[in-house]
Structure 1
Amino acid sequence: MTDSPRAPETRDYRDTLFLPKTDFPMRAGLPKAEPEWLKQWQAMNLYAALRKRSKGRPQYCLHDGPPYANGHIHMGTALNKIHKDMVNRSHQMAGYDANYVPGWDCHGLPIEWKVEEEFRSKGRSKDDVPASEFRARCREYAQEWLDVQREEFKRLGVVGDWDNPYVTMKPESEADICAELLKIAGTGQLYRGSKPIMWSPVEQTALAEAEVEYHDKKGTQIYVRFPVRGFKYTSQTGTRPALDLASASIAIWTTTPWTIPANRAVSYSDTISYDLYEITELGDPGFPLGQAVGDRLIVADKLWDDLAKASHITSSKRLRAVEADELSAIILSHPLAGTVDSFDYPIPLLPGDHVTDDAGTGFVHTAPSHGEDDFNVWMSNTDKIEALGADSTVPMTLDDAGCYTSVVGPRFEGLDVIRTSGKKRGQDGKANAEVIKALVEAGNLLARAPITVRDAHSWRSKAPVLRRATPQWFISMSKGNLRETALAEIDKTTFYPERGRNRLRTMVEDRPDWLVSRQRAWGVPITILVDADGNLHTDRDDADAINARILAAVRKQGVDGWFDTPAENFMGGEAGWTKVTDILDVWFDSGCTHAFCLKQRDDLPDRADLYLEGSDQHRGWFQSSLLESCAVYGEAPYKAVMTDGFVVDEKGLKMSKSLGNTVSPQDIAKQFGVDILRLWVASSDVHNDLKIGKDIIQTNVDAYRKLRNTLRYLVGALDGYDAADAVSYDDMPALERWVLHQLHAITGKHKDWVANHEHRRIYSELFNFCTNDLSAFYFDIRKDALYCDPLDSTRRRACRTVMAAIFERLTTWLAPILAFTMEEVWQTRHDSSVHLEDFRNAPERWENAALAHHMDQVRSFRDSVNEAIEPLRRDKVIKSSLEARVIAPTGDLVATLDALGVSRNDVYADPTDPSDVLADYLIVSEADLAGDSVVVEDLKDSAATKCARSWKYFRGEGEITPRDAAAVAALDTQ
């Protein structure tokens, strides 16, 4: 039947129909409605109400990874916060105390830069501003953006302790961060050393791997020869011919010409086959190069052709193989020796495991101050180096600005490697060109050519970074077995998705010691005091007392308590100690959040059940938290780790303002509403890159509309319903018991999906349930009973009983996803908040697999009937399926209908209390099981009469069916 039939007969039966009634609007108006719900939640203090309701429950803790307090939130942060809120709300409604404490990361260079710009705009350089004033403005700036972001997160519907978040710049947090560092220092895991680290000349600070990103960079590749200077000793064995190295050189290849002045050795591999070649013919490159006919070069045999082609060597002859023991005896001259006095020192050949013959020459130019492998090779061969009379000290060839120091001599001193200011910031400075020029003058440049390489850039300034040896503070990965402990904890951790385990494990296995020092102003200081011999105060017997004075000062004044207090005060009046002025890596700050949030709050557990951030945090927060916690407490701070993918546009491209493909969460909230954004999160594969754009948003709008219409129908159909109208399970028709079976099945799956954070499966299951099981099947069949059965009929009351069960489950199941809409729906029938409810259980008796099997057969049969009716509808032979009579083969349907208690007779045995007949399931007026195939007949020209109330065709007296007559009579009596 249709929703509002009109009868042309003497009585207008429209007023006798029990149509759904509701004020719940079809159009959501989310952009205006959602802020009103936020006001209601604030007025009722929903967060406090949840905590009160949860008292005594088992705790579930999703620990918030702190966003950076700088700028508006973007789609990636919106995705992450919404996803967290779904996890928290789901566990809260599953019976836990899911207390969510948001946090912010407030220290670091981006804020420092912005504040520097502010002062510059007022004519004051950073050096002109007192440090305490500068830090105070950084604190104010961070607080301003923290407040902005807090409101933006609230607008997303995220429930949490917004009035008491954890903040890294609170004095008590800063003190706790210092305390964690001092604990590590007390175990001997903290040390000061000089080794190559990532250095940003633009920002003039050290960077960790987590603070760099890799981009293509145009550069120059060069082949350079290192002339043989002599032998350390004579190495002649057996019948091997003497190695004649007259006019011989070893060739290297590099893409960083500026590192040549820092060269101290050449590395080779014991596993590579090397040969001595003599040049017999040269082409004309059109510009001067150092090689000449008769020159001899030692190169990896596999790579000679590459070198010959690049160096315009058109003909050569192979003289003999050069063995590893012979290489180890060779001493080289620096390629700049002779033209620049500063480079007249011996260059040894050193074996290195990092040397390959995949590219280059099979030899690696080794500058220990600019490469980790170079440094390791150099430091493992100091005895050999010093035996040559050479200085084994790693030279400091670059200053903080990335310019050559006096170590490389007057010709290069002061030249910049990259430009640190102006429009050409990040491009090559003067160093590369001058080094190449000097190599040409020395006659040792074999070849040069442009090249594009993928190299490290600062993710803040976007400028290239350099590898530079400087004195820094490190946390050892080996002392205290930190690496082994971390790897063991990774094995104990659950990962969503599982591939995250290998990613994090590989990073921890391969990472160097943790560089924790930065040379900036805005951050938590490294609260270590050092004496003239380099001893740390944490090694003293009275370290605890010193630490207590340090922490008291920081807790009282914040970081200024360290910087503004004389060292003697901390040392109990003892002189001769110096405070470290470096600040901590901000990843150390955030890595300590478990210590100063989870372990400090009585309403949170010491360890988190889950950390949930973007997949880039395997090298960031997941790892820094793991290492800090393992270094101090010997365990991971989390039991599980889950990752979100990155947000891209509909074409899968990274969002950027230059491409004009950015999508703002604020704009979506204003145009469509946050629940559309939340639906997008729930419907997406969050562990991979998530696409978003106009078409994808519209798809979610359409899906939302279908869900809303389903819920609106439920609300309207339940108008006036209360528990007194309920029908017991045993008295329900099979169709209602089948719906309860479906609810039971979903309940079991939903419980598992909540535990494993599978919100996409939850959404998909509920959406399909609403559209396929309810709207297209159950509601479609039961419209007639709801609208036309006598008010007190068992079938109608059973339908509304089941609808009430559906309502309570759908609204609670969907509440973590559509937080605003489900509150609106719930409050059409309740005075409380849906978010204070728990998920409903399903009685075991609702499970009925046999009934479900029979109903599947009926649905399949119904589909075949609809396929037969559709051509008649399409050809306009009939307008409504109620105009049809269906004749169908018996098959197994008789037994199925009998099992379901569905009559094959079209006439209700008791019109005052009708029970299901086959025609009801098919939504036709008559159905007969006979014949060999499905046949559809048009009833309009038959002896049947169209009911003026239900529009069913029937055979008998009067203008309405006996069932409709009974309903009208009962209504008239009332």
Structure 2
Amino acid sequence: MTFPDYRDTVFLPKTDFPMKAGLPEKEPRILARWQAEDIYGQLRAARKGRPTFMLHDGPPYANGDIHIGHAMQKTLKDLVVRTQSLLGKDAPFVPGWDCHGLPIEWKVEEEYRKHKRNKDEVPVREFRAECRAYAQKWVDVQREQFKRLGIAGQWDKPYLTMDFASEAVIVSELLKFATSGQLYRGAKPVMWSPVEKTALAEAEVEYHDVVSTQIDVAFEIVESPIAELVGAHAVIWTTTPWTIPVNQAIAYGPDVEYVLVERGTGFLGFEGDEAFPYTDKFDPSTASGLTPEFWDHLNAAQKKIAVALKATGLDRLPAKILVARELLEQVNKRLAAQVAHIDWKAYGLQDVVIDFTDPRDRVFKGSDLAGTIVRHPLHHLGGFFATPRPLLPGDFVTTDAGTGLVHMAPDHGEDDFLLCKAHEIAPVFAVTADGTYRTDRPDWLWLQGMGNVISDKLNNPEGAICTALRDAGALLAAAKYEHSYPHSWRSKKKVIFRCTPQWFIPMDEPHGNVDTLRDTATAAIAATRFVPEKGRNRLASMVAGRPDWVISRQRAWGVPITLFVDRATGQYLQDAAVNARIVAAVREHGVDAWNAEDAQALLGNDYSLADYEQVTDILDVWFDSGCTHAFVLESGEWPELRWPADLYLEGSDQHRGWFQSSLLESCGTRGRAPYNAVLTHGMTLDAKGFKQSKSLGNTTDPAVLLRDYGADIIRLWTATSDTTEDHRIGDEILKGVADQYRKIRNTFRYLLGALDGFDAAERVAPADMPELERWVLHRLAEIDAELRRAVDDYDFSAYVTALSTFINNDLSAFVFDIRKDSLYCDAAGDPKRRAYRSLLDTLFHALTRWFAPVLVFTAEEIWGTRFPAGGSVHLLEWPAIDAGWRDTALAERWERLRALRSLATMAIEPARRDKLIGSSLEARLVIGAGHADAALIASVDFAELAIVSEVELLIDAEIETGIRVSTEKSHDARCERCWRYLPDVAEESGLCGRCAGVVGA
């Protein structure tokens, strides 16, 4: 029989919201509208007067396109700010940039070199202007790249460390340290880049594996309270041969055991087919029966060994050496390696061993060595090298490696400097800024032409240093040694420790009635919240172990150290009026205000420039960025901001960078941290877990992702990653994120279509809704609590997981599936359909708001599709979820019903697989259950829950838990409108009773 086409009578979802997102094309249009309508400004006006939340943006460096780490981090910050704003708080975001410093200066110099220009011949104002222009160029580029990611903020008025107002505040903060006595100039070893000719902070250094030269060097003992040590040699071990020329002492461990041992030579020789041993400690008087031929063979062998050793320079090794007892074996191994390459068989010998051993060795405690004097291996050069070198007690000396005796070069090591200073031994400043030895003293002329101190010409086993030591008979061993070594993270070249005059902020000197900076910072760390908590120990350990803060740099592009130093006393000038003039001048003219021409005007009439040295160093850029809290949060330039910040958010590398410099600067000037909480994220690795590197070709370019996927995919990847740990990105990962996005988008497409034409008159109150709808409201209340907790914990992975689980498991796979029959086929005014559509409206408002901080463009598209004149979704607040919707008893009841439904669904699958039925609507279920489950099943329309035609329920008292289900094919007719198999389908119309009533048949 032919029936009418009832498709037009079914209430199918209807929406213009497309399934295909087209984000790369659509997002820029949405972004342009936000800018045209000043959505950020509207949001500030809407939240004015509300409780505030301050996330202070750590400044990225303005010297190139953003990378995926930048994209992830800025998105993470945006997630924090947007969720706080969603909660109704006034959460402004002022982005900023770090603009001073060596990387920019280096780039400008590179351009100079390309055009064969000499930086030193360019007026400093002109050079700084080029640095400023270079930084501004990249600020403008990065700003557009960040905006494209959907980051909301005060982009028209960001903060820049190079703004005159910022530079003035940085100077003012420096002068606070000076005024409070927390500043001194001293000569001590600092990390120094010979390539960039400037001091570096720990945060500006990265470590790479290198191959250096390790050497064992013998220093002849010329004086000692222990008579038998005189004439022996104290042996040191180092991996920096270039520091040997500046040696001024040797350190020993007071509690270490040292041993005096003698050199011996042993070998296996041949006489016919018979091998025989020999050692130069062999006592002929104890031997008998040895032929004259044997002795002739031994004498010949000794002569051959002497020839071979002379060729290697080992013929002049000292007869006795002093080393730590625990390390003698290591010393002998390194010595043995020196002769291992010789072809002894060519000399008629099987093997030769040179070592230092003596069964009658003498053992001394380190403290016994007090008063012992050695001479430099190069003492024959005279001058500096002729001065005797003392053995000094050092608590830092260990027996982990080396010889247990440590050579001290106060020019080039922190421990060296402090120990020598305690014994009134001063550095000699032998190495110049470019890493070469000074030329104004004949002591160092022999090292000229060898390049700087990190070059192989000086340091390799055949280099100038090793050659000089070998010629002096002082080189026991020289070999390659692989280890980790500090490099400048800008030039990627090795750095050295070099003693130079620098300006420091002391960590351990109290000022006035205030604790030391280290103590104040440690207390501030204890009072700060850390997410994750492990960040607390990381920062605390770095602060506990850091040296004084070296704040001076020897460059041009940066904020000057605006101090005048009295030439007679060496004290810097502390005068409030002078300081005020300096700050005012910098505010008006920027860093160029600090120049020799205007120096007298800055000093005023009370002082003469002839009596003062004007400091020419600039500030460490970490001091610049450490002051951002002062010129951003406090200055009044952005009235919507306040101090301190609620949150600082950066990568884990900033525990030694911005987190720490901001902490120290604020603790030194304000006595507390500039933040209440610190959120740390890990590094973004490639898909295999390797660090991203241009040289490896495994970098991920945000511009490519924006082109191929769109910003919302990058944002969803950020939100779903556990950013507190190192995390990965790659094609397969992004495909998974894109699939997750499609599921979210399809959920909203369903909601929009199902709510077509919905208005307030149709709404049903929650109390009047069926149980299923009320269970969803209960879940909404649970989700609300989960999301609030995730926002408070800054755990956006948990945030998105909670939402995705809800829409996929609770809605799409359960509620939407069950209620589609009611939505499509019930009468428009049917109470159940109205209740369901009322629930969908509640879901729409909640989910759109909750997803808005994550999928900023998609949420705007969703909101605009339903409410074209409804403004921006980003002006809305957290959805109003009634805590009274929670119903634990109802939740327990429906969790059991869901479990029983799953058992029923599983029973249908074999019938479908065996083609007994097609759609589940063809199925008739016979369910056997115990009393409790039977009562539960009978209390609802279980056929609707299981999406089958009919359920026959049998009580089986023997079933304690679960149900028994058998599946049959329904014998009823199918309704031509709702496709359910029902007994009341009319033969004439092909409609069930419900559908006939809806269409009026």
TM-score > 0.5 by shorter chain: yes
Residue 260 (structure 1) shift: 0.3
* Equivalent residue runs for 1:847-862 within 5 Å: 847-862=886-901
Q: Which residue of 1 aligns with 2:685?
A: 648
Residue 784 (structure 1) shift: 0.3
Q: Which residue of 2 aligns with 1:385?
A: none
Q: Which residue of 2 aligns with 1:820?
A: 857
Q: Which residue of 1 aligns with 2:45?
A: 52
Q: Which residue of 2 aligns with 1:68?
A: 61
Query: Tell me, what secondary structure is at the counterpart of 2:215?
Result: strand
1:561 to 568, 593, 606: 593
1:877 aligns with 2:916: yes
The answer to whether the Cα contact below 8 Å between 2:911 and 2:967 also exists between their aligned partners in 1 is no
1:380 aligns with 2:405: no
Residue 416 (structure 1) shift: 4.9
2:774 to 737, 748, 756: 737
Residue 725 (structure 1) shift: 0.6
1:527 to 553, 558, 562: 562
Query: Tell me, what secondary structure is at the counterpart of 2:521?
Result: helix
Residue 442 (structure 1) shift: 1.0
Q: Which residue of 2 aligns with 1:896?
A: 936
Q: Which residue of 2 aligns with 1:908?
A: none
Query: Tell me, what secondary structure is at the counterpart of 2:154?
Result: coil
Gaps of 5+ in 1: 1-7, 235-241, 383-391, 420-425, 903-916
Q: Which residue of 2 aligns with 1:269?
A: 253
Q: Go from structure 1 to structure 2 and tell me whether the alpha carbon gap of 1:624 and 1:580 turns closer, same or farther (over 3 Å shift).
A: same
Q: Go from structure 1 to structure 2 and tell me whether the alpha carbon gap of 1:794 and 1:522 turns closer, same or farther (over 3 Å shift).
A: same
Residue 116 (structure 1) shift: 1.5
Residue 897 (structure 1) shift: 4.4
1:464 to 472, 476, 494: 494
The answer to whether the Cα contact below 8 Å between 2:192 and 2:200 also exists between their aligned partners in 1 is yes
1:347 aligns with 2:375: no
Q: Which residue of 2 aligns with 1:589?
A: 624
Counterpart amino acid of residue 984 in structure 2? G
Residue 662 (structure 1) shift: 1.3
Distance 1:496 1:325 in 2: 48
Residue 477 (structure 1) shift: 0.6
Distance 1:410 1:622 in 2: 43
* Equivalent residue runs for 1:701-720 within 5 Å: 701-720=738-757
Query: Tell me, what secondary structure is at the counterpart of 2:908?
Result: helix
1:197 aligns with 2:174: no
The answer to whether the Cα contact below 8 Å between 2:367 and 2:393 also exists between their aligned partners in 1 is no
Distance 2:426 2:591 in 1: 35
Counterpart amino acid of residue 590 in structure 2? G
Q: Which residue of 2 aligns with 1:386?
A: none
Counterpart amino acid of residue 928 in structure 2? P
The answer to whether the Cα contact below 8 Å between 1:282 and 1:292 also exists between their aligned partners in 2 is no
Aligned residues: 918
Distance 2:668 2:573 in 1: 16
Gaps of 5+ in 2: 268-304, 337-353, 511-515, 957-962
Q: Which residue of 2 aligns with 1:255?
A: 239
1:964 aligns with 2:995: yes
Counterpart amino acid of residue 397 in structure 2? V
Q: Which residue of 1 aligns with 2:925?
A: 886
The answer to whether the Cα contact below 8 Å between 1:280 and 1:294 also exists between their aligned partners in 2 is no
Q: Which residue of 2 aligns with 1:388?
A: none
Residue 290 (structure 1) shift: 5.1
Residue 105 (structure 1) shift: 0.3
1:514 aligns with 2:549: yes
* Equivalent residue runs for 1:349-748 within 5 Å: 349-382=391-424, 392-406=425-439, 409-416=443-450, 418=452, 427-430=455-458, 433-480=463-510, 481-539=516-574, 543-563=575-595, 565-573=597-605, 574-575=608-609, 576-601=611-636, 602-748=639-785
The answer to whether the Cα contact below 8 Å between 1:34 and 1:820 also exists between their aligned partners in 2 is yes
* Equivalent residue runs for 1:750-899 within 5 Å: 750-830=787-867, 831-891=870-930, 892-897=932-937
Residue 535 (structure 1) shift: 3.5
Counterpart amino acid of residue 409 in structure 1? D
Distance 1:565 1:803 in 2: 74
Of residues 697-706 and 561-570 in structure 1, the stretch that sits farther from structure 2 once superposed is 561-570
The answer to whether the Cα contact below 8 Å between 1:615 and 1:644 also exists between their aligned partners in 2 is yes
Q: Which residue of 2 aligns with 1:316?
A: 357
Q: Go from structure 1 to structure 2 and tell me whether the alpha carbon gap of 1:741 and 1:957 turns closer, same or farther (over 3 Å shift).
A: closer
Distance 2:407 2:474 in 1: 14
Q: Deviations over 1:185-216 (max 9, x none)?
A: 11111110000000000000000111000001
Query: Tell me, what secondary structure is at the counterpart of 2:433?
Result: coil
Query: Tell me, what secondary structure is at the counterpart of 1:956?
Result: coil
Query: Tell me, what secondary structure is at the counterpart of 1:127?
Result: helix
Distance 1:29 1:20 in 2: 22
Q: Which residue of 2 aligns with 1:227?
A: 220
1:921 aligns with 2:945: yes
Distance 2:696 2:229 in 1: 58
The answer to whether the Cα contact below 8 Å between 2:103 and 2:490 also exists between their aligned partners in 1 is yes
Q: Which residue of 2 aligns with 1:909?
A: none
Residue 368 (structure 1) shift: 0.6
Distance 1:251 1:282 in 2: 22
Distance 1:565 1:49 in 2: 48
The answer to whether the Cα contact below 8 Å between 1:415 and 1:430 also exists between their aligned partners in 2 is no
The answer to whether the Cα contact below 8 Å between 1:178 and 1:524 also exists between their aligned partners in 2 is yes
Query: Tell me, what secondary structure is at the counterpart of 1:430?
Result: helix
Distance 1:466 1:156 in 2: 41
1:31 aligns with 2:17: no
Query: Tell me, what secondary structure is at the counterpart of 1:355?
Result: coil
Distance 1:668 1:732 in 2: 45
Q: Deviations over 1:710-752 (max 9, x none)?
A: 1100010000001111111221100000000000001111111
Q: Deviations over 1:372-412 (max 9, x none)?
A: 01111111222xxxxxxxxx221101000100114571443
2:981 to 953, 956, 965: 953
Q: Go from structure 1 to structure 2 and tell me whether the alpha carbon gap of 1:217 and 1:340 turns closer, same or farther (over 3 Å shift).
A: farther
Q: Go from structure 1 to structure 2 and tell me whether the alpha carbon gap of 1:276 and 1:717 turns closer, same or farther (over 3 Å shift).
A: same
The answer to whether the Cα contact below 8 Å between 1:889 and 1:931 also exists between their aligned partners in 2 is yes
The answer to whether the Cα contact below 8 Å between 1:528 and 1:536 also exists between their aligned partners in 2 is no
Of residues 571-580 and 685-694 in structure 1, the stretch that sits farther from structure 2 once superposed is 571-580
Residue 292 (structure 1) shift: 5.5
Of residues 299-308 and 956-965 in structure 1, the stretch that sits farther from structure 2 once superposed is 956-965
Distance 1:565 1:928 in 2: 101
Query: Tell me, what secondary structure is at the counterpart of 2:219?
Result: strand
Query: Tell me, what secondary structure is at the counterpart of 1:452?
Result: strand
Query: Tell me, what secondary structure is at the counterpart of 2:139?
Result: helix
Q: Go from structure 1 to structure 2 and tell me whether the alpha carbon gap of 1:51 and 1:918 turns closer, same or farther (over 3 Å shift).
A: same
The answer to whether the Cα contact below 8 Å between 1:649 and 1:655 also exists between their aligned partners in 2 is yes
* Equivalent residue runs for 1:54-203 within 5 Å: 54-203=47-196
The answer to whether the Cα contact below 8 Å between 2:214 and 2:481 also exists between their aligned partners in 1 is yes
Q: Deviations over 1:658-678 (max 9, x none)?
A: 322111111101111110000
The answer to whether the Cα contact below 8 Å between 1:307 and 1:361 also exists between their aligned partners in 2 is yes
Q: Go from structure 1 to structure 2 and tell me whether the alpha carbon gap of 1:472 and 1:936 turns closer, same or farther (over 3 Å shift).
A: same
Distance 2:436 2:728 in 1: 44
CA RMSD of aligned residues (A): 1.7
Residue 890 (structure 1) shift: 2.7
Q: Which residue of 1 aligns with 2:346?
A: none
The answer to whether the Cα contact below 8 Å between 1:186 and 1:538 also exists between their aligned partners in 2 is no
Counterpart amino acid of residue 331 in structure 1? I
1:326 aligns with 2:403: no
Q: Go from structure 1 to structure 2 and tell me whether the alpha carbon gap of 1:474 and 1:408 turns closer, same or farther (over 3 Å shift).
A: farther
Counterpart amino acid of residue 524 in structure 1? V
Counterpart amino acid of residue 436 in structure 2? C
Residue 342 (structure 1) shift: 3.8
